[in-house]
Amino acid sequence: MKNDNRFLEFVKQFKKNRSAILGFFIVAILVIFALFAPLIATHMPIEQELTNRLLPPMWEEGGIATHILGTDDFGRDLFSRIVYGARISIMIGAISVSISLAFGLIMGVFAGYFGGKIDIIIMRLVDIMLSIPAILLAIVIVAILGPSLMNAMIAIGIVGVPTYARIVRASVMSEKNKEYVIASRVNGSNDVRLMFQVILPNCTTPIIVQATMGFASAVLEAAGLSFLGLGAQPPTPEWGAMLADSLQYITTAPWMIFYPGLAIFLTVLGFNLIGDGLMDVLDPKLKEK
């Protein structure tokens, strides 16, 4: 099978890319945390021990071995909250990217395929959305829907739509006049079939790269919203919300700041490394020759 060979070639190339491998490992750890959270975590993420509030990490003076990274202002175990937080981050990335992708695909394919008035209307909408900075638009949307994790994911998903729409439209436009499309049309394929079964599968490369990077930025934006108090609400162990909680303890309990932030950073870095690697392997034109 031709496709199999392509896949093997891809794996070979990907393996040569050291930073992509690093990213892959980071994401693998994240996924393991998320899948086996109840086994890895030492406590339940929302379990409070009011007698053990604001404990430092175990290796610092005053820390105890049962709370590896210390506890927060409620006596909740930080390590366990970070482990469970991996689930939330994966969920945020997956749901936001799915929302962006679903709407972005439809809008992009329609605009690129039909052109003309449909294209103008869709692209106008895209322009309008892009003329408001993404995080501002997300904040306005969350302010309207009310602050919650679900609404933050919806907001981030909506904000991402124009980028996907543009990328898909560009790919569709470059593909739609190619010979195989014309051949298929001559063979009697209808518009829907042409759009989604003939053209779209040939536009996957930039979409996959964008979705990987989009996963990273979704996690980052969601953490930002939660940090502003507009995303996940306590006691949800979301990393950005944990940081917002820690603000008041910057002088007394700095460990509450370090570890959740590190988790956000590594997760985003992991997906960005993979995205970068994918770009190298799948679409070398985008990078140096």
Positions that interact with another protein (CB under 8 A): 19, 48, 50, 53-54, 73-74, 124-125, 127-129, 131-136, 139-141, 143-147, 216, 220, 223-224, 227-230, 233-235, 240, 243, 246-252, 254, 257-258, 261, 264-265, 268-269, 272-273, 276, 287-289
Per 3-state DSSP, what percentage of the chain is helix, strand, and coil (rounded to 5)?
75, 0, 25
Q: How far apart are the first and last CA of the chain?
A: 28
Minimum distance of another protein from residue 188's CB (angstroms) = 34
DSSP string, 29-41: HHHHHHHTHHHH-
Minimum distance of another protein from residue 187's CB (angstroms) = 33
Return the HEC string of 151-182.
HHHHHHHHHHHHHHHHHHHHHHHHHCCCHHHH
CA angle 3, 27, 288 (to 5 degrees): 60
> Which tokens sit at 280?
């190298």
Minimum distance of another protein from residue 87's CB (angstroms) = 19
Q: Tell me phi and psi for residue 176, to 5 degrees.
A: -65, -20
Whichever of 147 and 196 has its CB closer to another protein, that residue is: 147
> Which tokens sit at 183?
């051949």
Minimum distance of another protein from residue 148's CB (angstroms) = 9
Instruction: Look at residue 77 and give its three-state secondary structure.
Output: strand
**Sequence-distant (≥ 6) Cβ neighbours of residue 235 within 8 angstroms:** 45, 46, 74, 76
Minimum distance of another protein from residue 11's CB (angstroms) = 22
Whichever of 112 and 195 has its CB closer to another protein, that residue is: 112
Look at the alpha carbons of 69, 265, 98, 226 in this order and tell me if their dihedral is positive or negative.
Answer: positive
Whichever of 124 and 178 has its CB closer to another protein, that residue is: 124
Whichever of 8 and 247 has its CB closer to another protein, that residue is: 247
Whichever of 72 and 175 has its CB closer to another protein, that residue is: 72
Minimum distance of another protein from residue 108's CB (angstroms) = 19
Whichever of 64 and 247 has its CB closer to another protein, that residue is: 247
